[in-house]
Chain A
Amino acid sequence: MKAQASTKPTIVAPQIFWGRRIAAAILLVIMGFAFKSMATNPRFEWDAVARYLFHPEILSGVVVTIELTALAMIIGVIGAVILALMRLSGNPVLVVMSTAYIWFFRGTPQLVQIIFWGFLGALYPDFVLGIPGTDVIFFTAPTSSVIGAFTAALLALGLNEAAYASEVVRAGILSVNFGQIEAAHSLGLTPSRAMRKIVLPQAMRVVIPPLGNAVIGMLKTTSLVSVIAGHDLLTNAQSIYNNTYEIIPLLLVASFWYLVMTTVLSVFQAWLERKFNKGVRRPPNLIIAMLKDRSLREQQSLAMQRSIAESNAASEVADVGR
């Protein structure tokens, strides 16, 4: 039989999803109206927003929020790793202690914990550093001078975060195949080296997405420290509008900066995920694939036509030869 070898092969066009296109169009229209209303409504006081956007008190609030977030997360993550390792240690005392810590810090309101640390001086007026059970004292001072508002806020946020993040870290550690640990041991790595070099880097892959969530959550939880007079972004914005009554614009200013910080963190998180996903096969990034899609599809279409033409030509040759 002779193959139908036309010079112009019949190419199948990609399917068009009309429902999705209509849904997208409707959403775009709604978004447009929402933006227009926000931009033209004078009660948003955009001029006041512009005036306060780079106000020194706002900027110093941004710095304090970043400092609190970063330091609290460092305390939180170190605490989380310790708690997770205690929980996985198999020693009943360590397991119970870790579980009790998590139970307590997850079970009491964060606000209560912040107030508690802020007013620690009322419970323990003197801070004493010495050897318990003896009279040896190295250092003593009023508690309020050792643990100021910033330190109290840091302890409250960090110790609370440790409880939540420890479950994330534990899940990450458990996600690593036990064979990895055995292979590390068989190569002469001690358990602690195997943990640092083999287990934790692989656990990172599982841990980063929820931990990124936690950092972004922490960014906004820092605003709770207003109750003990920490000078974070939202607190400073509030203290300005308490005098000027420009409540909406200042909340917009604060939200703008929170969004900026969240965006930077999201980009950083994406970079970290790529770094720790080395050696893992996973589907390509959807948005990047979409941007590349058009030119890719054209290339593919050309390649397809060429390949079809070639194989048609080949079968023609074969037919002639027969």
Chain B
Amino acid sequence: MSAGNVPFLAIEGVHKFFGADHILRGIDLQVDKGEVICILGRSGSGKSTLLRTINALEPVSAGRIALNGELIGYHEKGDRLYPLGAVALARQRTKIGMVFQGFNLFPHMTVLENITMAPKMVLSVPAREAEEQARHFLEKVGMSDKASVYPTSLSGGQQQRVAIARSLAMKPELILFDEPTSALDPELVGEVLSVMQQLAADGMTMLVVTHELRFARDVSDVTVLMHNGRIEEMGPTKDVMSAPKTKAAQGFFASLN
């Protein structure tokens, strides 16, 4: 737990309905700064939805999510939460990076423009400084030579590495990865995972929804297993993966072998 007894990221009693479908059924999760957490589970278990509630891309139906004690996406009045205005929400989201399954690079901008756009526009970083930073992050993800090309000319793995650099350029406090390698050809998965592994080694706080068990085992501190909208099992990765205690976790790992 981080200083002053305020957890870095605290998720408490989060429920989410899509119409009548109860997608998240009371999620409680605390994340310390610098932790790498992998969220595993079958498709439809709610793991992507949970990730998307953390930067309020998905509004929650009940419960609270707080980063450094600051409620994300809502403000509290009496015993109710009210949605934040667009400007306040956008400001909060600058602290939470997100990497998508489909990359979602901006196709009408070059790689460099993709990375410098938000720092310049949102954080008012001067153009030259933003560009220097962008080149620094491109080097970090091994894409220095592609700064001036458009995303469509890149492979999926390269696009995802640029997307990670774009996220890093906002200097976020944590990064959410939503199945970052699921849309990639098998031979391109490794290059993205090794960039993520490097990030973890640098101390970035990461929440990763993934199907890559090897990555989870090698990199993550904590593994969370979701099933039917609940966290069925959670603990140090080596414990959860080598000796799962719950039926749901045992079934999940058994189905993969």
Query: Which A residues are closer than 8 A to B by beta carbons?
Result: 177, 179-180, 182-193, 197-198, 201-202, 205, 276, 278-281
Question: Chain A residues near B252 (CB, 8 Å)?
Answer: none
A180 and B118 contact, CB distance less than 8 A: no
Question: Chain B residues near A278 (CB, 8 Å)?
Answer: 108, 150
11 intermolecular pairs with C-beta atoms under 8 Å apart: A177-B104, A183-B100, A185-B57, A185-B90, A186-B167, A188-B90, A189-B90, A278-B150, A279-B108, A279-B109, A280-B152
11 new A-B pairs (CB below 8 Å) besides A189-B121, A197-B121?
Answer: A179-B100, A180-B104, A183-B100, A184-B106, A186-B96, A186-B97, A188-B93, A190-B86, A192-B86, A198-B106, A279-B107
Question: Chain B residues near A279 (CB, 8 Å)?
Answer: 107-110, 150-152
Given the interface pairs A180-B104, A180-B106, A280-B107, the reply to whether A186 lies near B93 with Cβ below 8 Å is: yes
User: What's the minimum C-beta distance from A307 to chain B, rounded to whole angstroms?
Assistant: 25
A276 and B108 contact, CB distance less than 8 A: yes
Interface size class of B (residues with CB under 8 A): 20 to 34
Interface residues of B in 84-114 (CB under 8 A from A): 86-87, 90-91, 93-94, 96-98, 100, 102, 104-110
User: What's the minimum C-beta distance from B146 to chain A, rounded to whole angstroms?
Assistant: 13
Number of A-B contacts (CB under 8 A): 79
A186 and B108 contact, CB distance less than 8 A: no
User: What's the minimum C-beta distance from B166 to chain A, rounded to whole angstroms?
Assistant: 7
A197 and B117 contact, CB distance less than 8 A: yes
Specify the chain B residue showing the minimal Cβ separation from A276.
B108
Given the interface pairs A188-B118, A188-B122, A197-B117, the reply to whether A183 lies near B108 with Cβ below 8 Å is: no
Determine if B231 is an interface residue (Cβ-Cβ < 8 Å): no
Bound complex: CA of A229 vs CA of B96, how far in Å? Answer: 61
B108 and A202 contact, CB distance less than 8 A: yes
Chain A CB within 10 Å — which of B55, B57, B105, B106 has the most? B106
Given the interface pairs A191-B86, A279-B151, the reply to whether A202 lies near B107 with Cβ below 8 Å is: yes
Determine if B147 is an interface residue (Cβ-Cβ < 8 Å): no
Determine if B170 is an interface residue (Cβ-Cβ < 8 Å): yes
Specify the chain B residue showing the minimal Cβ separation from A192.
B86
Question: Chain A residues near B86 (CB, 8 Å)?
Answer: 190-192
Question: Chain A residues near B163 (CB, 8 Å)?
Answer: 183
A189 and B57 contact, CB distance less than 8 A: no
A183 and B104 contact, CB distance less than 8 A: yes
User: What's the minimum C-beta distance from B91 to chain A, rounded to whole angstroms?
Assistant: 7
